Structure 1
Amino acid sequence: MSTLVLDPSLPEGHRRLMATRPELLPPAPERPAWGGRTPGDVLAALPLSALWGFLPLVVGLVHRGRRVLLAGLLLQAALLAVWIRYGSTAFFLAALTVQAAAFLVHLALAGESPVAAYGRRHRGRYVTATMLEPLDAALLERTADATATVLRSRLDRDGLLDGIANRVILPRQEWEIAETLTELTRLRREQAGARSGRVTERISAMLESQEEALKVATRALALRISALEEYALRTEEAEEVYAEWRTLQDLADDGDAYRELLSRTVRDDLAAGEVGELTERARGLQASLRESVEQARLAGLTLIPQEG
């Protein structure tokens, strides 16, 4: 699946749907003819609508969905009732009516995917790795991986990285990087096009100057991505300590049960010592956790733009 970065200002519902099927992006900028419907959609709708018209129960059984099965059962019963009460002619006309309605519904549901429609509507507000040159695509993937590491962490969910609005800052940083990479790709392709033509000495000198500018910009952006990756790395390290600390906390919470168990076989002071050891480990790990979280926070704070 291609890496996808979305403009954080897009509507949340659109963002979620586009993120589920990035392979459907980008569509053609123009709305497709007939809403994207093809002769294949018509051919597929014909047998399905015929089944709905005459044997809807078969559709329900094949589909295996509870609602579709119930609809097929009720429709089949209704068609049989028409046949028994009014005869085969009425049954045939009713089945044709259902078939025509089913055909129109199938055609309405076919065509352009909602994801593709959003992509066309929001063109320029998303970037996929397939849209970029290989070097820029690799930088985009590094950015997306680092961002996801932080946002999916238990540390962030539990609010330990206080003072850093990750849900706001990181998507914005990710999008700014993606926009820059898009521009870098555009300029690289522009350069490649210029080099494919007649290159005079003056053109060559200009291209070399522009290529050096691209290298400087790429290095600067790579440093920004490295800072983001450092934050993700510190978060991962703190996450491991946090998981260990939570486990020890759970064990320490069971101290009374262990104390009672040990007191049945050894002296109470030994029992207290065994349980106390767990508590001391938890305290020591808590100090380590505070230090790890603080290091992650400091790495994250470097990503926040300074005002003024």
Structure 2
Amino acid sequence: MNSLILDPDLPEAHRRAMAAHPELLPPDPQRPAWGGRTVGDVPAALALSALWAFLPLVLASAQHGRRRMLVAGAALLQAAVLAVWIRYGLTTFFLVCLAVQGVAAVVLLALAGESPVAGYGRRHHGRYVHASMLEPLDAALLRRTVDATDIVLRSPIDRDGLLDSIANRVTLPRQAWEIAETLTELTRLRREQDQARSGRVTERISTVLASQEEALTVATRALARRISALEEYALRTEEAEAVYAEWRTLQDLAEDGDAYRELLSRTVRDQLAAGEVGQLTERARHLEESLRDSVEQARLVGLTLLTREG
């Protein structure tokens, strides 16, 4: 699971791309020289451009997924260079392929460098927090936040609207982002303290640092309590989810009641068949009541969490 929290106000397309590939997000907001291209990109581009010039159909067919438009374009290019060979001879064919190779090399070098996700990361620097950006203690708290939030948002009872009054899809990402922002500030202050301690520490500096460290400890504990509340909500949601899964199974079984009644009536009295199916229906009713109680407990924990944070 990716220990990444994004600003919920980011463009949705950017959010999805960044969440899918957090490993591509850059640690530095400064754009690298040459757009992230390296010396190794030049020979790689030349090698691929040669293949595009002389054997475009073979190269396109080997691409992952074999996109139809790519293969079709490569087939046309392959037919064109072969037609040049047949019509004008080997020398002209070779010169045309060199020209195609030159154009392909320029295009491949233009496409090399940073991925779009890295570009989003630089554009939105400061609007995402990854565990690798934090001190170990703060990174652990971030992972707990991500885990608890994901449990709720991926839960079938939230997906099916049983917790819709809490507006989890809007509320939880914002709460997670607030926690991530606080963790970022805690990490910044911890690093400042470490830097101050690396120099000459006088008695007065030591006193100030001790006071600041106490403030950091208090703030960390308060934030940990907030994260614990999220985890309590996630735990209640998981408990309700287990009951919900059992209830849905029994509902499916109850829908087959007519088939079982007919089956039983063939071998025993109709009264026994009705009794058996009736017991199944009664179990489903009791479980439905249990599900209602479990979901209500989860909702109450979530509402308490929102009231406490509000």
Q: TM-score range by the shorter chain?
A: over 0.9
Match of 1:144 in 2: 146
CA contact (8 A) 1:259 1:271 kept: yes
Query: Contact conserved, 1:6 with 1:15, CA < 8 A, in 2?
Result: yes
Structure 2 SS opposite 1:163 = helix
**Does the 8 A contact of 1:27 with 1:116 survive in 2?**
no
The aligned counterpart of 1:250 is: 252
Q: Offset of 1:303 from its aligned partner?
A: 2.3
Query: How far apart, CA to CA, are the structure 1 residues paired with 2:76 and 2:201?
Result: 74
Distance between the aligned counterparts of 1:66 and 1:113, measured in 2? 20
1:76 to 1:7, Cα distance in 2 relative to 1, 3 A: same
Q: Work out the CA distance in 2 between the residues paired with 1:32 and 1:206.
A: 39
Instruction: For 2:154 and 2:49, locate their aligned partners in 1 and report how far apart those are by CA, in whole Å.
Output: 45
Q: Distance in 2 between matches of 1:171 and 1:209?
A: 33
Shift of residue 66 of structure 1? 4.3
Q: Name the residue aligned to 1:228.
A: 230
> How many Å separate the matches in 2 of 1:225 and 1:27?
26
Note the 1:170-185 alignment, pairs <5 A.
170-185=172-187
Quote the offset at 1:89 in angstroms.
3.0
Deviations 1:40-60 (A, max 9, x none): 111101011011111223313
Aligned residues: 308
The CA RMSD measured in Å over matched residues stands at 1.6
- Per the TM alignment, residue 102 of structure 1 is displaced from its structure 2 partner at its CA by 1.4
Instruction: Please state how far the C-alpha of 1:204 moved relative to its aligned partner.
Output: 1.1
Distance in 1 (alpha carbons) for counterparts of 2:30 and 2:203: 41
| Residue aligned with 1:30, SS | coil
Three-state SS of the structure 1 residue aligned to 2:306 is coil
CA contact (8 A) 1:2 1:130 kept: no
Give 5+ residue unaligned stretches, structure 1: none
The Cα of 1:79 is off from its aligned counterpart by 1.1
Kept after mapping to 2: 8 A contact 1:27/1:117: no
- Structure 1 length-normalised TM: 0.96
Specify every segment of 5 or more residues in structure 2 that has no aligned partner in the other structure, as ranges.
none
- Which one is further off, 222-231 or 295-304? 295-304
1:263-304 CA deviation, whole Å, 9 max, x = no partner?
A: 000000100011111100100000000000000000111222
* Residue number among 177, 180, 192 corresponding to 2:194 in the alignment: 192
SS in 2 for 1:123: coil
- TM-score, length-normalised on structure 2? 0.95
Provide the residue aligned with 2:26 in structure 1. Answer: 26
Distance 1:212 1:106 in 2: 55
Partner of 1:118: 120
Q: Please, which moves more after superposition, 115-124 or 228-237?
A: 115-124
Structure 1 runs of 4+ aligned residues shifted over 6 Å read none
Structure-2 residue corresponding to 1:78 = 80
Of 143, 146, 161, which aligns to 1:159? 161
Amino acid at match of 2:59: V
* Counterpart residue type for residue 116 of structure 2: P
User: Which residue identity lines up with residue 56 of structure 2 in the other structure?
Assistant: P
Aligned counterparts of 2:12 and 2:246: Cα–Cα separation in 1: 35
In the superposition, relative to structure 1, how do residues 66 and 30 fare at CA in structure 2: closer, same or farther (>3 Å)?
Answer: closer
Mapped to 1, the partners of 2:78 and 2:255 lie a distance apart of 61
| 2:236 maps to amino acid | R
**Residue by residue, what CA displacement relative to the aligned partner does 1:237-287 show, whole Å, maximum 9, x if unpaired?**
000000000000000000000000000000001000111111001000000
The equivalent of 1:90 in structure 2 is 92
Q: Which residue of 2 aligns with 1:12?
A: 12
Hey, what's the Cα distance between the residues in 2 that align with 1:123 and 1:307?
Answer: 26
**How far does the alpha carbon of each residue in 1:91-136 deviate from its partner, in whole angstroms, 9 at most, with x for none?**
2232122212211221121111111111111111110001111010
